[in-house]
Structure 1
Amino acid sequence: MSMSAIDDRRELVRRSTTDSALAPVNGIDFIQIDPADEARLIVQFIFDIDTDVDPPLSTALGVPLSKQMVSIAGGERIRSIAVESVQRGPGSNQLQVIASEVGDFSTYTLRIGPQGEAPPDGFDPVLCVASFTFHVECSKRFDCKDSTVCVLPAQSAPNIDYLACDYPAFVRVMLDRLALLAPRWRERNPADLGVAVVETLAYVADQLGYRHDVIDTEAYLGTARLRTSIRRHARLVDYRLDDGNNARVWLALLLDGDLPQGVPPGTRCATIFDGASAPDLRADTQTYNAALAAGAQFFEVMADRFTADKPPRPNPRPLSAVNNRMPLYEWSAETVCLPAGATTATLDGAYTLQRGDILMLAEACGPDTGAEADADPARRCVVRLVSDSTHSADPLTRRLVTHIVWHEGDALPFPLCISSVTDQKHGSLPIKQVSFAYGNVVLADHGRTLGSPLEATQELLAGVPPYGRYRPALSQPGVTLAALNPYIGDQPGDLKMPIQPASGAASWSAADIVPTIALASTDIDHNALAWAAVGDLLEGGVEGETTAFETEVENDGTTYLRFGDGVNGHAVEQGMEFHASYRVGNGAAGNVAADSIMLIDRSFKRGGMIRSVTNPLPAFGGRDAETIAHARQNAPVAFRQQERAVTAQDYVDRALQFAGVARAAASLRYTGSWTTVFVTVERESGVALDASFKSGLEAYLDRYRMAGHDLEVEDAVRVPLRVAMHVCVATGYVAADLAKLLLAIFTSGLQPDGTPGLFNPQRFLMGEPFYLSPLIAAAQQVEGVASVKVTRFEREQVPDRAGLRTGVLVPRPTELFELANNPDFPERGQFELTIDGGI
């Protein structure tokens, strides 16, 4: 909680003994450190406390306190500080606490009450905790109050495919030529006669060109045009053509009544279109046909957990109308927000939420204006609870509250405002319930299962011919390709199965993606066989009796089924009859915008309880099929790639392909019995190498390791630096303010505008030199700096003046410079700033 929110809470506690609307409670006002003995803490309470420790202390409200109920937590270098003794302080509202030792320079927390439990009765849950530092005599030139700067993420440039061929290429060439010859003609409407002529000529030219060299062109990867030809040519060089996959989306439901059975998996939803009666997507021909004609994108609800049956059955989570919108509790503070990285929150009211439930945290109105239209759509986040909700009451206001904890993988990526005060233009009015938690959230994915009323439930495929290959085509194009692993949470009542974060819904690998086709066959004797879709019939595990098939998608989206030959996959036989059920809808078209899905099929039991449905966040993960031009460029390169690491550079190239590796270096050394390859890596953002990352990288590199070579992965050798700078301040400027600005720039964290500081780990690269001139230039750009002089620019362990003479520090290939400037860790580099002049 912010300092302003704590101050507001403290003032309410002060008034709790005089205001009849408030329940009287006590709390910590502040903590003092004895300068003569920094292990001696004086805890100042808001109200008086009486008696000594033995017998136990008690508040003015008669609630006992004991030595075991005072604890100290925190610290970076010095941790686990114990409380040696507790005595009544000099004043009637003071408590003297003796710590076992003096801590480091970081911030510690003193708590009244056992760790992880509620505070004693009569103590405010917010003011039972106070932060302090042991070293009060350290120089503090600036205001200690932290300021939070919300930085918008950098917008990436759109991914534009500049490769074009065939029909579109002819159209573009002719239009570009016409724009040059007839600049006044700018019409691009397809109904225009000139555009129609251009498109007709382009179509004829494309067909004539294709027919002229169809046989020769399809025989080579570099000239083939059919997607099937490209796929087979690429497969010969072990390159797999990517057919894309479907998108997923989070749906928020607004209910008029409870849904004890939840929303059944497969329930169809769709984007809104003109003429639709939201939110009803009735399963009748008229509504369905209107949605198809309007180009609506269809989605189907996914199952997020299964029963323990074999095979498992989908078991949707129950949904409750009470959990439609749950306000976040502001603890009586006018301005309070959940900080970035938060994994806990308190709801205003009593709500029943279970482990594994999905919540949507979202801003409901603008914190500066109070208007719903000004709510920031970027302030929306989906989280998954890791434990059941717990209930308690605010002892100050007696309001019931609900405590929730969600997965660390779903930590808030941004600060979320709970209550605020509008700006002066809007009256400086306090606003509560700026943000809400939405409880009825389900996951859906792009695509619709073909079925009644328009399509047959099962499509009868063409019969097996008496000779030649059996390669039937599905009647509907755009078959859905989805990840095999659905987003599954815990089994009902199974606390041992780990909870997946909500962010895990966006995580899957290319190997998990298969066509969503259910294929069954019967032979002449009416024996039934079930066939499974696989990525490739030549992959491991597909044997002669395996009833499997693969798919091939043509340029127009038509999907062909390809069966085995009796060696790689079961062979089809004359007289077999095949039926297929499948879904359609795939690619980036499913990445619909936020708040565009507003239709849902409510024909299931109690489906009429759904008042509305929407997607507060855009759909994600949908990917279009790889273009032929892209495959033509990359397949030959994949064939020429060296798949065996021989030289040290080969290991470097492979290590750089591993996710999370920013830089790498390698060396081969004979260690007595064999040659050992030492691979030194630098992780992204300067993160230290841990055991799990090391084992994963070693397993990845082991596939390329030559027989007879041992492999060892090491972290980069971190070399601390020491830099000293003297700044002269110009007349009329405050030296302390200028020093604060400079230290905000020369930091290992982030600058106030969100960019990395000059000593941020992202600016130090393994084996890359570190130059002096950018430091001087950054200091001189600050207004009010008259002159800058760097007096030390050297390695911490090897001090010399070579760096000052040359203006650069050059590391060895496996070294990584660091300058944390942390008084608790001086061995990680130090920056000394001296300043004079000014006011």
Structure 2
Amino acid sequence: MICRDDRRREAVRQKPGLNGLDYIEVEEIVVGDKKQPLLRVYLLGKFQGVVNKENVRIDGGVRVKGLVATHVKPVRGSRKDEDDVLEITVNQWGDFSTYTLHVVKGDEYNRPGTEPLPGFDPLYAKVDFVFRGAAPTSPVCASIQEARALREEPEINYLAKDYASFRQLIFDRLATIAPAWQERHAPDLGLMLVEVLAYIGDQLSYYQDAVATEAYLHTARQRISVRRHLRLIDYALHDGCNARAWVCIETADDMPLWPGEVYFVSDTNQTMTGRNVVMSGRDMDEVPSNQYEVFEPIEDRPIHLYTAHNCINFYTWDHRVCSLPAGATSATLRDEDKGGERALKQLRAGDVLILEEVKGPRTGHMADADPQHRHAVRLAKVTPGCDELHAQPVVHIEWDREDALRFPLVISAIGDAPCCELINDVTVARGNVVLVDHGRTVTEQEAWIVPAQNEPTACEGEGQPADTAVQAAPFHPVLTHGPVTQAVPFPDTGTIARHQARVIDQIIRDLRLRVVEIWRAVQQRKQEADERNVAGLSVGEMATLTAIFDEELLADLNIRSGSEATTHATKTLKKLLLREGRLLLPSSSRQSVSSGRSVFAHKMQRLFALRERAYSGYCLTERDAQEVGALFDPQYSEWLKPNNPLLYGSAQHAIPQDVNGSTRGAIRKDISAALPSLTIKEEHEGKDQDGKEWRPRRDLLNSRREDRHVVVEVDDREVAHVRFGNGDLGRRVEPGVAMKATYRIGNGTRGNVVAEAISHLVYRSATVSGSSVLRVRNPFRAQGGSDPESIATAKLKAPASLRSHLERAVAAEDYARLAERNPKVQRAAAELRWAQGWYEVRVFIDPLHGLVLEDGLRDELTRSLHAYRRIGHEVVVLPARYVPLEIALTVTLHPHQLRDHVREELRAVLGNGVLPHGRKGFFHPDLLTFGESIYLSRLVAVAQAVPGVRNIEVTQFQRVGLSSDKGIREGVLPVGLFEIARLDNDPNSPEFGTLAMTLEGGR
């Protein structure tokens, strides 16, 4: 008999004079030179009697039997609640079977008997135990007798999978067990039961087939199943992405726009022609929803519109026929003085301007303007100025190199003959630019109520019912509308972190500049002062130094202001710069101030720590920004706040764009980072609960149990299913809670509308009054919209993605491939070298569009590779090893060819520049990379193709400084794995390669 509760055990413990055996532990002891087993028998409480070896009998065993106790020793528990123990020594070890130890009375021959020893409960006078763990056994088949004893079953057709086959299978079975039943009429009850069972079997069979089909990646057909399978191999099946666009707004008066109250619509099909630019939600109800696409502002902060920013002209400083060249990163705008205030006073760093060609440079007509000559830039610096010659207010603007012009923009030009008139303002700048993305915000009409369920009632014991737990029932709500908008978060936290690190470098330079300016001002005052005056520090200068350093440090250097100013202020400030100025350099690090004990050293150490954190990709919070402002200057806090538009990155990165059709030079959003635009808020009595918002994540593997995260899975019908956490990975929903979902709909390539398609501003309110908006337009086409990835494509790409995507750098080649991910790197090569205690990874870089490895790119690569490096590897980024060449040619020309013309053409095609038609010279840096040897045949073929060349003879083909004709004899100049050939043919730098040509013939 097996019982779950054992109350008798506790009763034996409590009854005085009664005891029993609880359990046995087997130990090993050494007696002399022999190892023997020791049985530690634990009793039920304190034992008052005596147990000798003749009172112990051990039964059982398969191969080893007849075990005998040789010695019994009682061990009393030291504490009142500690049970007594009997230590019993046995004559030999047992086998792997189960033995039973009995406590019995001895017989007349002092041998163990069969009756329980007095003082022991009969049920607890024995206990089972084993000497060793279970022995390894191999599976064996049942014996022949057992097999014969099995009841023979009739043959069953296991291929039956549908209704008809199951029906026939049941008929065949009934024919063997109930042969008398022959009824086959439809009203028969037996026939009805057979068909019901066949129907249920058909449904179960279909369910089994569906489960088996979705259990494997190569057979799964449901999108959600494939998505989960691919997640196991770290491949993200994306559900598409929405499009983004820049929208320009022209207004008659200065006015604000609140993003939550307005949205923009496209009119691609011209269904809203003749309607006002500004419309209301009621007006949009009259337009079919399939005739337009909705775009909403990405940022939540208020949008301020200014009339002066509608159209801004460039200032040319009295020059004529001007243009902004390709690669330009600055310009000057014409400002106006209106009633003592500047018209462009609200133009600030972080704003986006659209540089647009509005007139044809040859005709001056607006219809002849090239719509491709439009470029978006995010201002990095805005400096008001004035042209003193004409008392003309101007504004000098600068933008990031990532926003550099990709084509020249004409500002003023001379028109066609016969008028040949000057055409001004060919290109203008437009402000009031808003970044929008595709998608319309909707809210579920009814709140979701999390269903509750009671756990099955259980009993902890007799008369002890367990508490009933109320938990949430399975809750998988579905969004009513679709398709759900999938959007890449903007601004990207990695981009913000990278720019925050640059801002900290700028803060360090600004701090040093302030100290240097104070030193120069004091030095200037000292030169202008006479012997009776003292050139000391002003109160403001002293306050600036105190904010940067600390009073103790300044007092230690005897730096004071006012009447206490010292005549040696210049020397003390110079000493301050020499002593502490080394910390005010962007090249400094946290290790360089680790030995400093001053308050200033601790402040800089904290600043360097924040910079390292930002460079590692972690976005600094608003609290971190306030800390920097408290340490030095409150304005630095505004520089570092994550909502500062200066930290959002370039305007070109905000919208994906193809550059000349090249995918390598394209700026693309990472579609795999797109998340559903969904917010779920908990409600109580119809009101939102602050702080109780659920946000979407791609999965819940990194979610903690208190995180309100959800996963949105889109099926094959574009229906979104919401999945919550289970209490371990993500927070579990609480039963009875009301939830309201707000999300956006609109996704994929439908949002890639053409330029000038977005033409209307819509207020969500029923009526509109007092709007000053004159025009709405998108100068560029909307881009970035992508349809969901198909299941077939994902199954094809997923297995290869495991080998194509590097997550760690182990070998030298891994470092090179990771460095090539940077768009500024053309090629990279790496090698491992032992550096007396660790390995040094030398990564050689071939920059794109140049030969010089800039310090900024070097630092960026070093930091990015540090995140992938192997422990024990030190990464060192170095420029490529360039191999300068010396080449001499003797060129024979055809008669009547001009030597100078042919010489210039040969220098161009064999040079390192760009030819007039966009072709690159033979030695252009972008055409040569690591390990590419220079073949003589290719060089001769390129030169021979120049018009007028009759014959070419190579007289010198070698490395600079190595006189050898081996290259001419073998027809190739070999280049090492970490070397790049170079020939600049610059007379000022002959060490970078020379090309000598001797021309014969011609004229």
Aligned partner (choices 361, 371, 377) of residue 365 of structure 2: 371
> Taking structure 1 as reference, are residues 684 and 436 closer, same or farther at Cα in structure 2, changes over 3 Å only?
closer
Distance 1:742 1:594 in 2: 44
Contact 1:596 1:615 in 2 (8 A): yes
Distance 2:900 2:807 in 1: 59
> What corresponds to 1:301 in structure 2?
297
Tell me which moved more, 219-228 or 638-647. 638-647
> What corresponds to 2:79 in structure 1?
none
Using structure 2 for the length normalisation, give the TM-score.
Answer: 0.56
Deviations 1:250-299 (A, max 9, x none): 1111212221x3454562001114331445353334524515131x1111
Aligned partner (choices 448, 465, 485) of residue 461 of structure 1: 448
Q: Does 1:240 align with 2:233?
A: no
> What corresponds to 1:419 in structure 2?
412
Distance 1:599 1:338 in 2: 32
Residue 555 of structure 1 aligns with an amino acid whose one-letter code is D
Contact 2:238 2:672 in 1 (8 A): no
Contact 2:281 2:764 in 1 (8 A): no
Deviations 1:14-66 (A, max 9, x none): xxxxxxxxxxxxxxxxxxxxxxxxxxxxxxxxxxxxxxxxxxxxxxxxxxxxx
> What corresponds to 1:89 in structure 2?
none
Distance 2:482 2:701 in 1: 26
> What corresponds to 1:575 in structure 2?
736
Aligned partner (choices 277, 280, 283) of residue 283 of structure 1: 280
Distance 1:743 1:521 in 2: 73
Distance 2:872 2:335 in 1: 66
Deviations 1:349-375 (A, max 9, x none): 524133333221111121123222221
Shift of 1:755: 1.9
Shift of 1:417: 0.6
Residue 221 of structure 2 aligns with an amino acid whose one-letter code is R
> Taking structure 1 as reference, are residues 325 and 291 closer, same or farther at Cα in structure 2, changes over 3 Å only?
farther
> Taking structure 1 as reference, are residues 699 and 835 closer, same or farther at Cα in structure 2, changes over 3 Å only?
same
Residue 255 of structure 1 aligns with an amino acid whose one-letter code is T
Shift of 1:639: 4.4
> What corresponds to 1:617 in structure 2?
780
> What corresponds to 1:269 in structure 2?
264
Contact 1:278 1:612 in 2 (8 A): no
> What corresponds to 2:148 in structure 1?
none
Aligned partner (choices 320, 323, 348) of residue 309 of structure 2: 323
Distance 1:445 1:810 in 2: 53
Shift of 1:832: 2.3
Q: Which has the larger radius of gyration?
A: 2
Residue 651 of structure 2 aligns with an amino acid whose one-letter code is A
Identity %: 35
| 3-state SS in 1 of match to 2:305 | coil
Distance 2:384 2:687 in 1: 57
Q: Does 1:406 align with 2:399?
A: yes
Distance 1:519 1:365 in 2: 49
Deviations 1:219-246 (A, max 9, x none): 2111222110111101112222222322
Distance 2:878 2:334 in 1: 50
> Taking structure 1 as reference, are residues 800 and 211 closer, same or farther at Cα in structure 2, changes over 3 Å only?
farther
Q: Does 1:745 align with 2:909?
A: yes
Contact 1:479 1:584 in 2 (8 A): yes
Aligned partner (choices 727, 744, 765) of residue 566 of structure 1: 727
Aligned partner (choices 427, 437, 442) of residue 435 of structure 1: 427
Contact 2:315 2:332 in 1 (8 A): yes
Shift of 1:379: 0.7
Distance 1:411 1:640 in 2: 36
Aligned 1:310-709 pairs, distance under 5 A: 314-350=300-336, 351-352=343-344, 353-393=347-387, 395=389, 401-424=394-417, 427-450=419-442, 459-461=446-448, 463-464=450-451, 466=453, 469-486=474-491, 496-497=639-640, 498=646, 500-506=649-655, 513-522=674-683, 528=689, 530-540=692-702, 542-602=703-763, 608-639=771-802, 646-657=810-821, 659-685=823-849, 687-701=851-865, 705-709=869-873
Contact 1:747 1:760 in 2 (8 A): yes
Distance 1:575 1:554 in 2: 27
Contact 1:594 1:616 in 2 (8 A): yes
Shift of 1:752: 0.9
Distance 1:349 1:622 in 2: 38
Shift of 1:808: 1.4
Shift of 1:597: 0.5
Distance 1:400 1:654 in 2: 49
Shift of 1:327: 2.5
> What corresponds to 1:819 in structure 2?
983
| 3-state SS in 1 of match to 2:381 | coil
> Taking structure 1 as reference, are residues 678 and 254 closer, same or farther at Cα in structure 2, changes over 3 Å only?
closer
Distance 1:449 1:275 in 2: 22
Using structure 1 for the length normalisation, give the TM-score.
Answer: 0.66
Contact 1:394 1:401 in 2 (8 A): no
Contact 2:473 2:735 in 1 (8 A): no
> Taking structure 1 as reference, are residues 349 and 709 closer, same or farther at Cα in structure 2, changes over 3 Å only?
closer
Contact 1:664 1:680 in 2 (8 A): yes
Contact 1:269 1:281 in 2 (8 A): no
Distance 2:716 2:998 in 1: 68
Contact 1:485 1:512 in 2 (8 A): no
Shift of 1:656: 4.6
> Taking structure 1 as reference, are residues 463 and 342 closer, same or farther at Cα in structure 2, changes over 3 Å only?
same
Distance 2:770 2:966 in 1: 76
> What corresponds to 2:957 in structure 1?
793
Distance 2:775 2:351 in 1: 20
> Taking structure 1 as reference, are residues 757 and 639 closer, same or farther at Cα in structure 2, changes over 3 Å only?
closer
Q: Does 1:780 align with 2:930?
A: no
Aligned 1:97-136 pairs, distance under 5 A: none
| 3-state SS in 2 of match to 1:274 | coil
Shift of 1:680: 3.7
Distance 2:369 2:297 in 1: 27
| 3-state SS in 2 of match to 1:444 | strand
Deviations 1:769-789 (A, max 9, x none): 112222222222222223222
Structure 1: state its 5+ residue gaps.
Answer: 1-209, 304-313
> Taking structure 1 as reference, are residues 332 and 654 closer, same or farther at Cα in structure 2, changes over 3 Å only?
closer
Shift of 1:613: 0.4
> What corresponds to 1:187 in structure 2?
none
Deviations 1:377-412 (A, max 9, x none): 1110112233345242473x6665444333333222
Distance 1:638 1:586 in 2: 25
Contact 1:388 1:404 in 2 (8 A): yes
Aligned partner (choices 697, 710, 716) of residue 880 of structure 2: 716
Residue 399 of structure 2 aligns with an amino acid whose one-letter code is W
> Taking structure 1 as reference, are residues 291 and 417 closer, same or farther at Cα in structure 2, changes over 3 Å only?
farther
> Taking structure 1 as reference, are residues 706 and 398 closer, same or farther at Cα in structure 2, changes over 3 Å only?
closer
Shift of 1:740: 2.1
Distance 2:820 2:392 in 1: 55
Shift of 1:545: 1.8
Deviations 1:414-450 (A, max 9, x none): 11111112334x7544322211111222211211111
> Taking structure 1 as reference, are residues 659 and 752 closer, same or farther at Cα in structure 2, changes over 3 Å only?
closer
Residue 704 of structure 2 aligns with an amino acid whose one-letter code is E
Residue 234 of structure 1 aligns with an amino acid whose one-letter code is L
> What corresponds to 2:890 in structure 1?
726
Distance 1:698 1:406 in 2: 25
Residue 268 of structure 1 aligns with an amino acid whose one-letter code is Y
